[in-house]
Amino acid sequence: MLLFFITLCGVECFAVDNTMLAQGQPGLSNLEDGYLTALGSTLVNNGEVHKLDLVAAESQTGIIVPYRAKVWTYNGKIPGPVIRIRLGDTLEVTLINRLKQPTSIHWHGVRLPNTEDGVPGLTQQAVASGASYLYRFTPRDAGTFWFHPHVKSSEQIEKGLHGVLIVEDPKQPRYSQDLVWILDDWLLDREGQIVDRFVTRHDLAHDGRWGNFVTVNGQPQPSFTVSPGERIRIRLVNVANGRVFAPRFTDLTPRVIAVDGMLVAQPFPLDQLFLAPGNRIDLDLVVPKDYQGTSLELVDIFSRESLSLARLAVSNVQAVETPDFPSPRAEYFPDSEQVYATPVYHDFQLNAERGGYYGITWTIDKQAWPEITPLKLRSGKFYRLRFSNLSSRLHPMHIHGQFFQVIARGEKTVRENYWRDTVLIGPKESVDIGLVPVDKGKWANHCHILEHAEAGMMGVIAVQ
């Protein structure tokens, strides 16, 4: 991957984003103040400017081992590029569209100006075949993010168009290794080619398109070498169209230090979390010193049959000194009881109906994209929103440009002390979230099962 580093100085240094809300502002309750203190840290862009091109094209070289499946890629590779920058740095990405169809790039989970969010029909026009488009932004948060097209995503993401964006915070401790594991599945035919039928009735009647070939970083069950005693950060990213993973290590329980990019308030064992499409989980794992010559296996236990995903092969060498530091955690996380006492402001009804372009239409409040009415919210105000799943399928709901806290499932209060940008809602389940929108603009609110979204399940939250 080509990265040019250019340091800008002078006027642009320490520019402060003026859409930010001041904390301690009169009229804000403790609750809102708490959320804004945790989320609304003033944006500083005093870092480097990274310029790079992302060429979306049918790939000649990118393959899924062991098949020679034709894929679509950014810059010719499966898995897509992993871009690493530092907090305060600015990204200047030129998307060059060499596909035969329009595309765009959405920066999943990144809080950025609405104009850079990459949603055709909402924040920009789709980038036509042969055209290019410039995205420029300074991420507000450090963490694990990813990017992908927001046009025909059922086809474009499935075929391989996705990449990872890591924003590093020099204040966070250094691990022995920092691994990125991109979890995906592919629906391949007998010849090992990607089945070229998208948004089928079957996908729509189920939880989207589930593949028959699961990969980590484009390979089935890859192995990564570690030394005994090493302390590893593993960033799990689910880029699958529909598949939900419940990733677990067979021999030990690593700690979760970040969910959807953002550090958790209190690291906790990985024994409950699901990794739905769109979700990220960062793990803190210490390789036991007496594990020489053995291996640690990551498996998925979401489906009935547990599935081997990847392995850490522990080399047969002398154990190294384990880096000793407390797991990184969010500096501050709000814990106001008012969150739980606030009434529901809006209840999104998630359901399906017969008819429409694909024969089945997925709806939010009986509306299907693009014929939707945006939900208007005010920046800086606390809202409790509910997703009520009236259907018997899964819906990982994702809100662009915002982080929210899950505060209830059904009647039961939930105390998640971390943020999410995507939450999995089970059949007939309802989930309440708390959020204080910060950045103004039109933000998509959709199911991240890409087939459900394509068949209508996308609305808009307009933050004013």
Residues that bind ligand C2O (CB under 6 A): 106, 108, 148, 150, 278, 398, 400, 444, 446, 448
* Among the residue ranges 288-296, 338-346, 420-428, 451-459, the one whose residues contact Cu ion (CB under 5 A): 451-459
Q: Does 447 bind Cu ion (CB under 5 A)?
A: yes
Query: Backbone phi, then psi, for 114, in 5-degree steps?
Result: -55, -35
152 binds, among Cu ion, ligand C2O, none (CB under 5 to 8 A by kind): none
Residues 6+ apart with CB under 8 A from 4: 50, 51, 52
108 binds, among Cu ion, ligand C2O, none (CB under 5 to 8 A by kind): ligand C2O
Q: Which residues within the stretch 165-184 sit at the binding site for Cu ion (CB under 5 A)? A: none
Judged by beta carbon, residue 74 or residue 291, the one nearer ligand C2O is 74
Judged by beta carbon, residue 104 or residue 227, the one nearer ligand C2O is 104
Task: Please give, one letter per residue, the 3-state secondary structure of 392-426.
Answer: CCCEEEEECCCCEEEEEECCEECCCCCCECEEEEC
Judged by beta carbon, residue 239 or residue 447, the one nearer Cu ion is 447
**Which residues lie across from 268 on neighbouring strands?**
256
Judged by beta carbon, residue 296 or residue 449, the one nearer Cu ion is 449
Q: What CA–CA distance (Å, rounded) separates 111 from 36? A: 14
Judged by beta carbon, residue 163 or residue 208, the one nearer Cu ion is 208
122 binds, among Cu ion, ligand C2O, none (CB under 5 to 8 A by kind): none
**Minimal distance, residue 359 CB to ligand C2O, in Å:** 23
Side chain identity at residue 46, one-letter code: N
151 binds, among Cu ion, ligand C2O, none (CB under 5 to 8 A by kind): none
150 binds, among ligand C2O, Cu ion, none (CB under 5 to 8 A by kind): ligand C2O
Q: Does 395 bind Cu ion (CB under 5 A)?
A: yes
- 323 cis-preceded (ω within 30 degrees of 0): no
On whether the CB atoms of residues 307 and 214 are closer than 8 A, the answer is yes
On whether the CB atoms of residues 107 and 116 are closer than 8 A, the answer is yes
**Minimal distance, residue 449 CB to Cu ion, in Å:** 4
Judged by beta carbon, residue 73 or residue 227, the one nearer ligand C2O is 73
Residue 267's closest CA among 256, 259, 275? 256
On whether the CB atoms of residues 407 and 432 are closer than 8 A, the answer is yes
**Minimal distance, residue 384 CB to ligand C2O, in Å:** 22
Residue 389 has, within 13 A of its CA and on its CB side, a CA count of 21
Q: Which residues within the stretch 296-315 sit at the binding site for Cu ion (CB under 5 A)? A: none
Alpha-carbon torsion 432, 438, 439, 440, what sign? positive
- 66 cis-preceded (ω within 30 degrees of 0): yes
- β-strand pairing of 143-148 with 213-216: unpaired
**Minimal distance, residue 405 CB to Cu ion, in Å:** 21
162 binds, among Cu ion, ligand C2O, none (CB under 5 to 8 A by kind): none
Could you tell me how many residues make up the chain?
A: 464
Judged by beta carbon, residue 61 or residue 392, the one nearer Cu ion is 392
248 binds, among Cu ion, ligand C2O, none (CB under 5 to 8 A by kind): none
Query: Backbone phi, then psi, for 107, in 5-degree steps?
Result: -100, 90
Which residues in this chain contact Cu ion in the complex, by CB under 5 A? 395, 447, 449, 452
